[in-house]
Every structure is written in C-alpha cells, then in structure tokens.
Chain A
Amino acid sequence: MSRGSESEERLLIEAAQKDPGRFAELYEHHFHQVYAYIARRVSDRNEIQDLTAHVFQQALANLGKFKWRGAPFITWLYRIASNALSDQRKRRSREVSSDDLPNGESASEVDLEEIEQRAQLFKAVDALPEDQRRVIIMRFAEEKSIRDIASELERTEGAIKQLQFRGLENLRNRLAEKQAN
C-alpha cells in the first residue's frame, strides 16, 4: 500500500469512528476483499453471504476500538473473518464428523495474494462495458444459463456467448495490466 493511500485510509477510518455514517465508504472499499476471503474457504453462496454480513456487522460495532498500528484496515477485517470461520468450524464440529470440515482458517501469504487478485477481478467486472458486464453478472453471480440470459436480454444465444467471451477476455487483460503495474 502506498503512503498516500495509507493516509487516505487512515483518515477514512478516523472519520468513520467519529461519524458512523461514514462506515459505508469503508464498506465500499473492502467489500470485495472480505467476500473473496470467505469465498476462498466456503463454497455455498448463502454461507458466504451470511459470513460476509457478520464480518461487517462486527467491524461496525467494534470500529471505536480499532487502533491504527500501521497495518492496513483490511488485515483487521481478515482477522474478524478468520475468527468467524473458525467459530463456524467449531460449531460444525459438534454437528458433523470432522472429515467434512474445511482446512485451517488463517490464510497463508500465497492465499492472500490469490484473494486480493480475486477481489480485483470482482471489482473489475463493474468496469466492463455495460452489455458485457450484464452477461458476466447474470452468468456468474446469478448463475443463469446462456438460453435464459438470451431470452431475458432478447438476443441470440450466439450473441450472449460472444459477449461472455469478450467480457472474460477484457477481464484477463485488465488483470494482466494490474499485475504488470
């Protein structure tokens, strides 16, 4: 994190500590990272959503206690997420056999790199040209078939597949650019 964005983030946190109304900005900045962190450990969409909501509710409730010690705010959120995953795992272990449990909660450095990359990818979807963005969201977020998307958008299936192709190509290029930087 650059010095400029670090001090910006710090100001934002201090503003939110004074005026919780400003928490929405922190949420916007970190949503995709938290979501990606949890999605790395949990595959069920409802569970990912519940845990993501839990992390931000905890963060909001405890924001007054957050003290800046030089580590970026996201590491604090990851810690809350890691605790939430671990709590869930403990609850599960009473309900099901331990063979079904996901592996350890805390993410390694390699994991974090992947998580950050995935969060960037999620964010990059919003920057796609509108028709590509709609198709990618309907396909991957809403998990619809090409046929359903085609009938909803009143286009041919070929055109939808074409947009999906262009969208994924665009996303790959954007990620490559980011990594080059």
Chain B
Amino acid sequence: MAERSIIDQLDDAVSAILAGRESDTAAIDQSVVELVAVAQQLRGLPRDEFKKHLKDTLVRSNEMSSPVMKPEPALPSLSVYLCFNNAAGAIEYYKEAFGAEELMRLAEPGGKIGHAEIKIGEAVILMSDEYPDYGAISPQTLGGSPMKLHLSVLDVDSFVAKAVSLGANLVRPIEDQSYGHRSGQITDPFGYTWIISTHQKDVPVDEMQKQFDDFVQKRATDETPASSKTSYRREGFHTVTPYLTVEQPAMLLEFTRKAFLATELGRTTGSPGGLHAETKIGDSMLMIGGGVGLEQRPTAIHLYVPDVDAAYQRSLEAGATSLFEPADQPYGERSGAVQDPTGNRWYIATPFVPLNEIAEGLRTITLYLHPIGAQGLIDFLRNAFGSEEVMRHQAPDGMILHAKMRIGDSIVELGESRGGSLPMPTAVYMYVEDVDALYERALKAGAVSVLPPTDQPYGDRNAWVKDPFDNIWYLATHLA
C-alpha cells in the first residue's frame, strides 16, 4: 500500500476520534494502528494558552498573600493578652514589621487603648494600654517579660531583617536548629521577646531527644575546664578574631547589627581609652573599638553568609556604599562588596559549596589582608605563628592573587595589594596556648614589640606586636 494512502487512513481515524466516533480499526493498515492509539491518547491535549493563563493566575494570587502563613477561618481557643505602655504604637509596629491586621480597638478620647485585637498569621493577639488598677502592666514598666511568643513564618531571614530594621533587637542569631526549624529571637521595641521560626523538616522526637542528650553532654564537658583543650581561649572565640578600630565604633556596631544581623555581646572601655565591644556574626566573634582621636584601622573582611543578596541589600540600607553588586564569581561563590560608613570593606559571599568543604576553619568572618609583598607576609605568618598555607592562586608573573593561611583553628585570607585594594593594615586578637613563647617567636620572625606579655585585668595575659606590614597582633592566653 502506498504511503499516501496510509497518511489518509490515519487522518480518517484522527477525524473520527476528534468527533467522538469509534474508528474502524479493522479497515486500517497494521502499520498505522499504533499511531491511531497515540492519537486516541492525544484527544483532549491541553491548550498552551490555558496552561499559561492558569500559571499567571496562580502567580498573581501569590503576590497578594502575606508573608505569614495563611490564616484559618476558625479562631484558636487560646490567645495571648499583651499589655503595652503605648498600645497604639505597638499596633503600628506589628502592622508594619509583622504584617499584622487590626481587627478592632476600643479607645479613650485621648487615644489610650482599653482593648484591641490584631491578627498575625492565624493568631489573634488581644492587647491594651497599661491599667495598673486592673493588673495590666507592660514589660517596659516591669523591666522585661518572662513570656516568649513563638511565630511561624515562611522566611525567617527576611522577616527578622525587616523587624530589626524597624527597631527590634536581635537577641539570638538565626540558625538552623537540630529540631528542624530555622529560627532566631528578637525583642520588639515594647519589650516582648519573639522566637521567629521557619519549619524546614520534620524530626522525630526520639531523634530530638538524642540531639538534646548530646547537647547536655557537650555543655557538661565545656563547663569542665580540666578536660577542655581550648581553655586558653575565652568561650566562643577561635584563634583569630579581627579587631576593627574606627573613629565611630558605636556606628559600626549599629551597622553590623542592621546589615549582618550581628548580636552584640557587650561594651566596655578599651585599653587606650575609647570603646571596646564584642559582637557575633554567624559563628564568628568580632571585636570593635576606637573613638575620636584614637588610631583607626579599617579592615577588609570576607563575610560568608547564607544569602549574599539579602545581606548586600541590608548593608546598603544601613548606610554602606557599594563596591560591586552581587554576582556569580568564577572562583566558586556569589559575592558582592560594600564599604561601611566607618571605612571597613566587606566582601560578602555565599559559596556554592559548604564552607568547610572549601577549607576547614573557614567561618562567617574571615580576615582579608592586602599587603604589598604578599609572599613576605606569608613567610612572616609561617615563621612567627607556625601558620600553614592552605591554598594559593597566582598570576603567571607570580603575583599572589589569593591565598588562604591556617593559623590555629582559623583561616586568614590575603591577596597582593593592587588596583582598588589598597593595603589595609589591621589589628588581630589571637588566642594562643603560650603567649610568652609565641611573643619571642614573633620578634625573631621580624615583628616589633609594642607591649611585652602582661596579665590584664580582663582575665587574659597578652602581648602586642607589630609585623613588618604594619598589622598589630594582640597575642593572648586566657587565664582560667
């Protein structure tokens, strides 16, 4: 049979199928039967424009949904009743920061709120201003509240960033928790503490108990100084802690809080006067100090964060100037860079692989040095501190573009000063097992003594040296 007629036979069958008639398979050439079966299945093939239109409709309905999980029609049987010294202000704050919806308010002529109800996600919160005669007293009057509120949101990072930018304090940084949530804690401007959380995965209770047992065990070990190999360091510190000294340290602390969700751990007076403060970003400590009239040492930091675009955006909102916008880099990370209002440079990056796969010891805050004569600094770090070269990337002419050096349990990065990266000599607080021995070794390697080993009132024995590249190293051993 000629092909032409097979083609016609097939079309007769297709026409019958589309018209909803049975096609007469007996009259069809065997070679076409399989094709008729395919045509049968194609009946009702979805239309492209329907598929596209439905997608557009779904996307549009998304854009109108709130950042908190969808409300349920039924009210929960339990709701909290909160007291404020400025309930009207609190309602405004929760509306703007938490996406709350005001359901009702009963107000005195002067605006004082006797009772109001707001809805956040699926929860209704009842509230009033202070009425001491009725036992309604706010956390601001009492000096805090023992009650914490737990709020489930779709994206804890952006939610907290917004709440903080509008005046909340981050009291515990956002972290992936072993029980399957990603969460952090904030205290709102009215004294209430909120645990903000995004559910990531279900973890069975027995698994949670096991993780909790490990935690209790670890805490007990950490609290026993004799068994701790790191007792020469203060808790939470690694070998290397960058020390940023600037003219306006309070401004820098504010910047790190807003831009990088840093948790400030305390402020005191520094040794040369001015301010000394310690803050934590992610898993790393950072020291910040200085003041008007004191020496300034703005510094470059490679900051590894979970979401470079969000951190970059927040840093601009917190007053930084862009050096370059986030982009995927050929060296395995997405990164952007900013200069903060006090002069430090932040190379903000989200690597494509987990940090510890790049190099063990790489943490959120990694010091970045731009010496003139990078090889000389590498030699100094090796001779003075027993530092080990982990990787290097150099130009054909031998110029060191990037190198990673391990010092103790930390990594310091460096690259030859060139183009836009001028030398930024800095200060480093470095915990070591034996400050006296390392001080001697550093001097032999070419450092100059600024302060010989001295017991300090804050519980560290430390010595200060300056390397040939003008960096100051505060070598310290914590006195148990």
Where the two chains meet, the residues of A that have a C-beta atom closer than 8 Å to any C-beta of B are: 14, 17-21, 23-24, 27-28, 31-32, 35, 39, 43, 45, 48-49, 52-53, 56-57, 60-62, 64, 67-68, 117-118, 121-122, 125, 136-137, 139-143, 145-146, 158, 161-162, 164-165, 168-169, 171-172, 175
Contacts and interface: CB of A to CB of B under 8 A. Distances in A.
A168 B35 contact: yes
Contact of B39 (A117, A145, A168): A168
Contact of B45 (A23, A57, A141): A141
Contacts of B155: 18-19
A151 B8 CA distance: 18
B154 A20 contact: yes
B54 A52 contact: yes
Contact of A121 (B38, B50, B55, B58): B38
Contact of B35 (A118, A158, A172): A172
B47 A20 contact: no
Contact of A18 (B10, B46, B65, B198): B198
B50 A24 contact: no
Contacts of B205: none
B45 A122 contact: yes
A165 B45 contact: no
Contacts of B295: none
- Interface SS of B by simple majority: helix
Contacts of A121: 38, 41-42
B46 A24 contact: no
Nearest to A165: B7
Contacts of A169: 35
Contacts of B11: 146, 161, 164-165
Given A60-B62, A118-B41, A139-B14, A172 B34 contact: yes
Contact of A64 (B15, B50, B69): B69
Contact of B42 (A53, A140, A165): A140
Contact of B200 (A14, A24, A60, A122): A14
Nearest to B35: A168
Interface in B164-213: 198-202
Contacts of A136: 42, 45
B283 to A, nearest CB: 22
B306 to A, nearest CB: 12
15 contacts: A35-B46, A62-B70, A68-B202, A121-B38, A122-B45, A122-B46, A140-B44, A141-B48, A164-B10, A164-B11, A165-B7, A169-B35, A172-B35, A172-B38, A175-B38
B18 interface: yes
A30 to B, nearest CB: 12
B38 A31 contact: no
Contacts of A67: 202
Contacts of A64: 69-70, 154
* Interchain residue pairs A-B with the least CB separation, the first 7: A140-B45, A20-B62, A141-B45, A168-B35, A140-B42, A141-B47, A39-B44
A24 to B, nearest CB: 6
Nearest to A170: B38
Given A68-B201, A165-B35, A172-B34, A17 B45 contact: no
A140 B38 CA distance: 11
B371 to A, nearest CB: 42
B30 interface: no
Interface string B381-405: 0000000000000000000000000
A164 B14 contact: yes
A60 B198 CA distance: 18
A132 B70 CA distance: 45
B61 interface: yes
Interface residues of B, number: 41
A6 B48 CA distance: 27
Interface in B55-84: 55, 57-59, 61-63, 65, 69-70
Contacts of B63: 21
A20 B69 CA distance: 11
B467 to A, nearest CB: 45
A137 B6 contact: no
A61 B70 contact: yes
B43 interface: yes
A43 B62 contact: no
A20 B65 contact: yes
A165 B55 CA distance: 31
A56 B58 contact: yes
Contacts of B218: none
Contacts of A145: 15
A47 to B, nearest CB: 11
A24 B58 CA distance: 8
Contacts of B199: 17
Nearest to A19: B155
Contacts of B47: 137, 141-142
B219 interface: no
Contacts of B202: 67-68
* Most chain A beta-carbon contacts within 10 A, residue among B39, B41, B45, B201: B45
Contacts of A17: 154, 199
* Most chain A beta-carbon contacts within 10 A, residue among B46, B198, B202: B46
A27 B55 contact: yes
Contacts of A60: 58, 61-62
Given A53-B57, A121-B38, A137-B45, 13 more contacts: A18-B155, A32-B46, A52-B54, A122-B42, A140-B39, A140-B42, A140-B45, A141-B47, A158-B7, A161-B10, A165-B35, A168-B10, A168-B39
Contact of B50 (A49, A122, A164): A49
Interface string B1-34: 0001011101100110010000000000000001
